[in-house]
Each structure stands twice: as structure tokens, then as C-alpha cells.
Amino acid sequence: MRSGAGTLVAATATVLVVGGSLGCSSPADLDREQIADATVRVRAEGCGPRTELGVGTAVDDGLVITAAHVVAGSSVIDLVDGSGTTARAAVVLFDPELDVAALRASVAPDNAVALRERRAEAGDRGLVALPADDGSIELLEVDVVQRVTIRTTDIYREADVERPGLRIAVAAEPGDSGAMLQLSGGGAGIVWSRSLTTPDQAWTVDLPPELLDRSARRTLTEPVDTGPCP
């Protein structure tokens, strides 16, 4: 059982199904230990009395990717790995439209995952890593149901946006926002919302180009404004 404060939103959205060939990724192709070691719990403080919880994934050079709504309005952000070790982090990319953020950790997690260059498609199968209550990392097998474009709003529900991503079959819970979908070849997007209408299904958003390019990721070194609390 996973629990705690934090949000995994179920935003009002219109889904446009995008065609594509069936994928061929399999969980058997993945390095489970590496994925678990690259997964951290994100704890963000600054929006009232609550502590916002989410999930982050280390990619390289101390960079950790999560959902923007997890760290929005934050003043202090800590990353907690599977062993309970805590490291302070700063937000170096904040995109409230896509709901994606990148953090630079003061101490990088023990391991990191690659990011997948080829986009995921319906039929791909992979894993999502989620921190459990006891601090261990739980690996859930996931099916990619559809490639979609989601018409929704930014994290503040102020502007209409479109998010390219996936509908996946996984039982997501509060506190799971920011978890990365792992497929053969690397990470392929992050979880930002669960479905209100279909049990055990959630939505991911594709990663933006500045995170898919390693040279561009290395330029993300300066803290950025995380905006107001959502």
C-alpha cells in the first residue's frame, strides 16, 4: 500500500487518440535494479501546512525528472532514495503547461536511467517504479493502451493546453505523480493524472525536447521560479 499527502490529479480532459503501430517493449528487457535505484520520493514544502509528495527519476548528471505540480510553489525540496538517504534539490526546469519539472540534486542518486528516443506506442509493455510506505521501491508492470493527445488545462487550470502522451494500464494512487514509464530503451514519459472513468488507468505526458537531449540537460544548472501554489 502506498499512501501519504500529495496529488495525482484527475483533470477534466478531452482525449484525442493518435494512430500508431503496435509496440514491442517487454518488462523482461528492463534492468529492474537500475530502475529501482534511480527512483526517489520527492518531498516539497512551501504550500501551506502540507508536504507535497511525488516520484522522481534520476537520468544523469544529478538531474531528476518529476511532475511540475509536485514542486509548484515549493520553498524546500528533498529527494529520498530507497535506503532513506535524503538530498536537497533545486528546480532547474518548470513547465506548468506540460506538467513536467527537472530537479538538480545536491547528491545524485546511486543510479540513473536512459531516456528513450523512440516514442512509445500502443502495445508496448514496461514498468513504473513507485516508492512504498516502508521506503522500498515497488515495480509495477504496465501496458500502454493508447497514444493520445490530451486537451486539458495547465496545472493552475487557467489556460487550455494539449499534452501529447499515453493512456497506460496501472493502478496509480495519490503521491505517485511524476513516476516515469520505463520501456525498452529507457524512460518514455511521466505519470501526471489518473483516469476518473476507467479503473486502474492513468495518463502520461511525453518529455519535452530539452530533457530528451543530453547536451541540453547539462545546461540546466540554475534554479528557476516554481510559480505560485496550484
Helix (H) or strand (E) holding 152: strand 137-153
pLDDT at 135: 80
Which CATH fold topology does 14-215 show? Thrombin, subunit H (2.40.10)
pLDDT at 54: 96
pLDDT at 108: 83
Across residues 66-87, what is the average pLDDT? Answer: 95
What CA–CA distance (Å, rounded) separates 44 from 91? 11
pLDDT at 18: 53
How does pLDDT run across 101-128, given as a tens digit for each residue? 999 999 888 899 999 988 899 999 999 9
Across residues 22-43, what is the average pLDDT? Answer: 86
10-14, 91-95, 120-124, 136-140, range with the lowest pLDDT: 10-14
Calculate the alpha carbon distances from 41 to 160, 161, 165 in Å.
29, 27, 23
pLDDT at 209: 94
Backbone angles phi, psi at 15, to 5 degrees: -105, 125
Contact (CB, 8 A) for 104 and 112: no
Higher local confidence (pLDDT), 203 or 198: 203
Q: Identify residue 164 by its one-letter amino acid code.
A: P
pLDDT at 199: 84
Task: Kindly list the domain boundaries of the chain, sorted by start residue.
Answer: 14-215
pLDDT at 178: 98
pLDDT at 13: 55
Q: Give the rounded percent of residues in the chain with a pLDDT score beyond 70.
A: 89
Tell me the whole-structure pTM to 2 decimals.
Answer: 0.91
